[in-house]
Chain A
Amino acid sequence: MPILRILLVRLLTTAITLAGVAVIVFFVIRVVPGNPIAMMLPPGATEEDIARLSALYGLDKPLIAQFGIWVSGVLQGDFGTSITTRQPVLDLVLGRLPATLELSIMALVMAMILGGAAALTGTRYRGGRTEGAIDVANGMALSVPDFLWGLVLILLFGVLVPVFHISGRVTPSLDLPFTTNFYLFESLLRLRFDLWADIVAHMFMPALALAIPLAAIIGQLLKQSLKETMNLDYVTLARTKGYGETRVILREALRNAALPTLTLVGVQFTFLIGGTVIIERLFSYEGLGNMAIDAVINRDLPLIQGIVILFAVIFTAVNLIVDLLYTVLNPRLRHG
């Protein structure tokens, strides 16, 4: 019963949040100066041409009416037509979504590996120089945002020791046999490891830049809760059985220490996804964020709306899932 109630309340607040995002983005971008219609017509177009095209995109109606048309369209899965490319917004956005998803998930996995390794090593050698060094590295990683790490990586692995690609998603001259836009995933399924390696070499630096700050957060939190767990009675018991320190950490402590970290990773993951916007720009990676910045520069109003809404849906969905997971995994809340 409590779970059902929590679920209902959360779904309701999520709906309110998304509605709020829709209202704000719609009216904010209507204030953007510059007529998108005039920009898409060749110079020398008459007033009449502009008026006709405006009518075609519904831009001649009053704002409230435009909003009503857009909302009723969105609710039926129609996000309108992009002004610059003249393709349906939904197709464009869904076409780019896999690239951003793959990048975000790769970054999340990297962050978990790096942060987990830092926490485990720090706990294993706690109180010594190793832990001190890990703390300093964590502090640095946390203080500097993904954008700057991306630039540092470009210099290190793109210029100084050029081992990775600094722009794009895949080498353009390659022949791609893919039917979906999940390049990383599909290249594995098709056993095309040559393509897979090329894609990873493109994604490595942007993913790492996104991963570094999150890895630091995971490292700090997990180490803290691991160290607390190490003082609990059942861990001492495992030690008296004669298990080695490493085994005690991995087998006994980790399982209990992971839960508080996992819940925080969820919220931080939305920050990571938000970071893809500028990181994709920095690495000329053809994902949603890069398309969003182009859409703003080109004043492509329907496309901007579609992308922002999609980001908001992803953010709220991640938060919702984490909240529910936490409720399910935490026995105190489940029976509370």
Chain B
Amino acid sequence: MAEAKPLDGRSLVRRRAGLRLWLSAGWLALLCAVALLAPWIAPKDPLAQDLFLGRLPPFWVQGAEPGYWLGTDSLGRDVLSRIIHGARVALTVALVAGTITCLVGASLGLIAGFLRGWVDLVISRLIDIWMAFPPVLFSILLIAVLGPGLLSIIIAIVVIDWTRFARVVRAEAMAQGAMDYVASARVAGRGRLGTMVREILPNVLPTIVVLLTLEMGIAVIVEAILSFVNLSISTDDPTWGGMISEGRTSVHQAWWVLVFPLITLFLTVLAFSQLGEGLKDRYDPVLR
């Protein structure tokens, strides 16, 4: 990549992209640490209710109670501790649902794009059908079928979002399949499966990694949306979406119940997406 450098300030753009990558990775690493250490670093029990301590404001506002840094919700539960414990659910969903969705979607896309023929026809038609569903409504419907719970959320995300991977990977596998190196591999005696896994997959991998990062951010949002409509985990367990849902109803009386989980969720989604974009700029020639 020979570049005409200083003219368009590309080095500046690159430096900014690097900063973006490090900032988002840093936030996500911090979040992982917090999630892992939640029981030890959360100042209070996230489930402990105390009606005498309901709707306490955060520490810098008058009427705050020491120890409840970010205030309490209407049932007197500590907002900070609930955010810390909520990180566990959010990150579990992001990692597990994101990875499974990626495996399912990318495999189907790879198979469709490389094998072509009737397999591709069936998978493409399925993608079309999936794209005709409003995704949020589809996920709510699936949770109604599966019943609330962490596992249901993960299944719902996989069932709905596999098309995101399948579409892109299919197109990319098709483009790669038409290239000379694939033909030479076949001539050299590689089987179809071997060609697909050993030749095409490595070339599609950067694209898949970027999509995976973006998908993790989407998974966090889906969990929050499902908690928001009260279909996620049991209502007692702390989730960011559940806290936001409660905060939305009492926003005029206790803004902090909405604001702090919202900031956390916002930064996390932003971090996943900026990490994906940063990786894309750096390593992925396809999506760029």
Contact = CB atoms under 8 A, between A and B. Distances in A.
B142 interface: yes
B69 interface: no
**Interface magnitude class on chain A:** 35 or more
B262 A151 contact: yes
B147 interface: yes
A36 to B, nearest CB: 12
Nearest to B7: A127
A148 B131 contact: no
A151 B132 contact: no
Given A315-B132, A316-B132, A16 B265 contact: no
A159 B221 contact: no
Interface in A119-176: 127, 139-140, 142-145, 147-148, 151-152, 154-155, 158-159, 166
B197 to A, nearest CB: 30
Interface stretch (A81-89, A238-246, A270-278): A270-278
Interface in B236-276: 244, 248, 251-252, 255, 258-259, 262, 265-266, 269-270, 273-274
B134 A148 contact: no
Interface stretch (A24-32, A254-262, A327-335): A24-32
Contacts, number: 128
Contacts of A274: 134-137
Contact of B262 (A17, A29, A31, A148): A148
Interface stretch (A108-116, A184-192, A229-237, A305-313): A305-313
B129 A21 contact: yes
Given A32-B145, A282-B248, A155 B259 contact: yes
A104 to B, nearest CB: 12
Given A147-B225, A148-B262, A312-B132, A296 B269 contact: no
B33 interface: no
A278 B133 contact: no
A129 to B, nearest CB: 10
Interface in B215-232: 217-218, 221, 224-225, 228-229
A28 B133 contact: no
A159 B218 CA distance: 27
Interface in A293-325: 293, 296-297, 299, 304, 307-308, 311-312, 315-316
A159 B255 contact: yes
A140 B274 CA distance: 9
Given A274-B135, A296-B140, A151 B248 contact: yes
Interface string B181-206: 00000000000000000000000000
Nearest to A279: B136
Interface residues of B, number: 41
A18 interface: yes
A336 interface: no
Given A147-B221, A151-B248, 19 more contacts: A21-B133, A28-B145, A31-B145, A139-B277, A143-B277, A147-B224, A147-B228, A155-B258, A159-B255, A166-B251, A274-B134, A275-B136, A278-B136, A289-B136, A292-B140, A293-B137, A293-B229, A296-B140, A304-B141
Interface of B: 8-9, 125-126, 128-129, 131-137, 140-142, 144-145, 147, 217-218, 221, 224-225, 228-229, 244, 248, 251-252, 255, 258-259, 262, 265-266, 269-270, 273-274, 277
Interface of A: 13, 16-18, 20-21, 24-25, 28-29, 31-33, 127, 139-140, 142-145, 147-148, 151-152, 154-155, 158-159, 166, 270, 273-275, 277-278, 281-282, 289, 292-293, 296-297, 299, 304, 307-308, 311-312, 315-316
> Lowest 5 A-B CB distances belong to which pairs?
A143-B273, A20-B129, A274-B134, A312-B132, A277-B136
